[in-house]
Structure formats: structure tokens, C-alpha cells
Amino acid sequence: VNPTIVNFNQCHKFGHKLCEIQLYLLYLSDLLAGSGLGLAYLPAMVIINQHFDKKKTFAFGIAVSGVGCGSFIYPPLIEFLNKEYGWRGALTILSAIGLNICACGAFMRPFKNNSTLKIERESSMTKEEKLFNFAIFKSLDFDILCYNNVAICFGISVVYSHLSEYSLLMGIGGNESFMLFSVVGITNLAGRFIFGAIGHHPLTDEVLLYICTFFISGAVTIAVPLLTQYGALLAYSATFGFFSASYGVLLPGMICEFLGASELASGLGAILPFCALGTMLGGPAAGFLYDSLHSYNWSFIVGGGVIVTSAISIIVPFWRKKHLKVAMGGTKNNPDNHHEIESNIIPTPMDNCEGDILDAETEESDNLLKVDGRFVPTVVDI
């Protein structure tokens, strides 16, 4: 995993350095930098999934809190670097900061010890290895989550692309305009810690929390055209930054719930292109609305509306999850209906995963060896 982070961070650094050579290479620079950062993000999330079990959601919250911290620090930092060193010097310094990802990736180590890895390598020799599991798209819940990510990133990109311009139109400029993004960043940072702690609580339904937070984020974005004062825009920035923080915190846990923890890498890898698609479409679409209507009002209304629809779409997986739990509860109370319920309800992959884990923990077998609290095969069936 750590070579992946180091190698693709080099793409990020090289992409920014290209921008110093010719301005027309800006698009290539963005492509390389974005690819490097995206491919470094995926293994970092997978490592957390491997190292944490009971407090996984809180660990994800801490790990992605850097996004909020960066959103708070980078706007004034970029403005300062641009004034002092020009855009070329600013990009050079930013690429040097990004180079620190290499050091972080070099410190990451495999979770399992050498004996466990050796056993797993021997066992995997008889199995066909797949780089990506396309069967995850057979899950309706996961397909809806993919659409959800397109819609969320679409709406968020509208906010980040046009909030500054909207504030200038309202007579708010200079440092005050940058302060709006700093408020988004600091509240986003706080929200990631808070939602990580809330999501870790055993009584919390992560799916319901995810729905509520983005419904609120979309609703307040729709109301932006009504906000014409600087204080009101600051309040909006704080609200949007706080509630949108649930995205990075709860998303990995939802993927594990819909597909199973073993498919986090495939699930997250499949969702990231949908996130990129939403981000790529959001800004230009909002710009087209402004060019057509000469007003930012409809840009925020459409962006907020798309975020609201993304939250509503997750009601379907939430309802299916609740329906399955009710059905399974009825089976326990009335064993005579067990066969009927099994024939009408298809268990989710996570339910199968949990069952396998319970069986593995309780089964006594001569072919299993307990290593670091986990059962691994001691012989290979050929």
C-alpha cells in the first residue's frame, strides 16, 4: 500500500511542476495532480479499515479531518504565496507541501505479521486473483450510493466554485471573501471529529445520520439567494461546512455495510470516479446557468436541490435495511415463518459477511490456526 501512496504522490508533485513550464499544460497538470492525490487517498482509507474494528468510524473521522484543516489554512496561504512569489512560485511551494505525502506513505506498514502473510500467500496460490470485483455493482444499495456521490460532489462543487463570486456580487470582497472558505474549513474540521464520535456510538444509525446531514446541507444551500449580508453568509458557511463533514467520515462505513468490509477497496475505488464526475460537472453547469440567467441564485438553488435529492435517494437502502431487520426479528419470534421469510428476502452482502465472521469465530477446526486474534488456514486444499 505504501508504495502506491509514494508513487502516485510523485504524480501530484510532477503535475504541479509542469505548470511552471507552460500555461497550456495546466490541464495536464490538474490531471496528474488529481490522479496522484486520488490514488493516495484510496490505500490510506483501506489501511484504516485493516487496523480498526470497534472504533472504525471515529478513526475515519480523524483521518479525513485534514480536509477541513486544509480548507481552513489553504485559502489565506495561497493568497499570501501568490502575492509574494507569483503563481509559479506558489505552485512550487504547494507541490513541496504535497511531497510530504511520500513520507507519510513510507511510514505505513502491513497490519499482519510475516507468518500470517506467508500462510495467506500460500492459500492464494490456488485462487484466481482479481484486481477489481465488478460484482459489487449488482448491489442495488451500492448503485444508489454511486448516484448519491455524483449528486453530492456536483452540489459541493457549485458551492466552492461560486460562493466567492456571489459574495463579491453582494459587495463582500478581499479577505472577507476568503474568510467564508476558512469558516467552511474550520467547521468542517470540527464536524469530522464530532460525526466520527457520533457514528461510533452503538445506538447511531450511520445511514440515517448520512441522510439527515446532507438534507440539511442541501436545504441551506437552496436558501443562499435569500442571504445578502456578510453575517448571514458566515452562518451559511459554518452550517454547510459542519454538516457536509459527514461525507468523508460516514462513506467508508456505508460501503462496508452495503458490500462488506472485505470489499472496501473495490467499493471506494469504484465510487471515486463518480465523485470526480460530479465535481467535474458541477462547476461548469453552475457557470452555464449564470451565463444564461445572469444570476447566481439558480446556481445555488440547483446545487442545493441536487444535494437534497442525493440525501433522499439513500432512503431506499435505509428502508431496505430496516425491512430486513424487521423480517429477521419476526423470524426469531415465529420459527414457523423462517422458510417463508428466507424465500422473500435477499440478505445484503454485509449480512453474509457478519455471518461468516461469527461462524469463523465459533467454529473449532483442525485446519484453522488462531494468529493475532484471527483464524487462518494452516493447510492448503489443492
Domain match, 306 and 368 both = no
With 80 as the cut, is the pLDDT of residue 75 above it? Answer: no
149 vs 291: CA distance, rounded Å: 26
Do 215 and 355 have their domain in common? no
* Residue 22 binned pLDDT confidence (cut-offs 50, 70, 90): low
pLDDT 10s digits, 187-232: 988 888 899 888 878 888 888 999 999 999 999 999 999 998 899 9
Q: How much is the pLDDT for 74?
A: 81
Last residue of a domain, one of 294, 313, 332: 313
pLDDT at 185 over 90: no
Given a cut of 90, whether residue 320 has pLDDT beyond it is no
Residues 154 and 73 in one domain: yes
d(CA 84, CA 245): 32
pLDDT in tens, 266-315: 888 888 889 889 988 988 898 898 888 888 899 999 999 999 999 999 99
**pLDDT at residue number 239:** 96
Q: pLDDT digit string (tens) for 130-160?
A: 566 788 888 899 999 999 999 999 999 999 8
Q: What is the DSSP letter of 366?
A: T
- The neighbouring-strand residues paired with 376 are 369
| 61 within a domain of the structure (yes/no) | yes
Higher pLDDT, 166 or 52: 166
Domain edge (last residue) among 262, 295, 313 = 313
Structural domain containing residue 367:
349-376
| 298 shares its domain with 355 | no
Tell whether 306 and 357 lie within a shared domain.
Answer: no
**In which band, very low, low, confident or very high, does the pLDDT at 39 lie, cut at 50, 70 and 90?**
confident
CA–CA gap between residue 94 and residue 8 (Å, rounded)? 16
Res 376: pLDDT: 46
Percent of the chain predicted with pLDDT > 90: 20
For residue 176, what is its C-alpha cell? 472577507
Task: Record the cell numbers describing residue 379, joined without a space.
Answer: 493447510
Instruction: Provide the mean pLDDT of the chain.
Output: 76
For residue 250, being part of any structural domain is answered with: yes
360 shares a domain with 251: no
Three cell numbers at 365? 477446526
Q: Are residues 353 and 217 in the same domain?
A: no
Beta bridge partners of 369: 376
The more confidently predicted of residues 97 and 373 is: 97
Judged against a pLDDT cut of 70, whether residue 340 lies above it is answered with no
CATH number at residue 277: 1.20.1250.20
Q: Is there a domain that residue 137 lies in?
A: no
244: confidence class by pLDDT, cuts 50, 70, 90 = very high
Q: Look up residue 214 and give its three cell numbers.
A: 446532507
> DSSP for 188-246?
HHHHHHHHHHHHHSTT--HHHHHHHHHHHHHHHHHTGGG--SHHHHHHHHHHHHHHTTH
Structural domain count of the chain: 2
Higher-pLDDT residue of 45, 83: 83
64 shares a domain with 194? yes
Average pLDDT over residues 38-62: 76
- 68, 183: one domain: yes
Query: Is residue 102 in a domain?
Result: yes
Within-domain flag for 62: yes
Q: Kindly state whether residues 246 and 299 are assigned to the same domain.
A: yes
At how many degrees (to 10) do helices 175-200 and 56-63 cross?
170
Overall average pLDDT of the 350-374 stretch: 44
Decide: residue 100, CB within 10 A, 0-12 exposed, 13-18 middle, 19+ buried.
Answer: exposed
Query: Could you tell me which residues are beta bridge partners of residue 374?
Result: 371
Determine, yes or no, domain membership for 381.
Answer: no
Grid cell for residue 314:
439513500
CA distance 296 to 289: 8
Q: What is the pLDDT of residue 318?
A: 87
Identify whether residues 306 and 353 lie together within a single domain.
no
32 plus 171 within the same structural domain: yes
Task: Provide the β-strand partners of residue 368.
Answer: 377
Percent with pLDDT over 70 in the chain: 72
The answer to whether residue 70 sits within a structural domain is yes
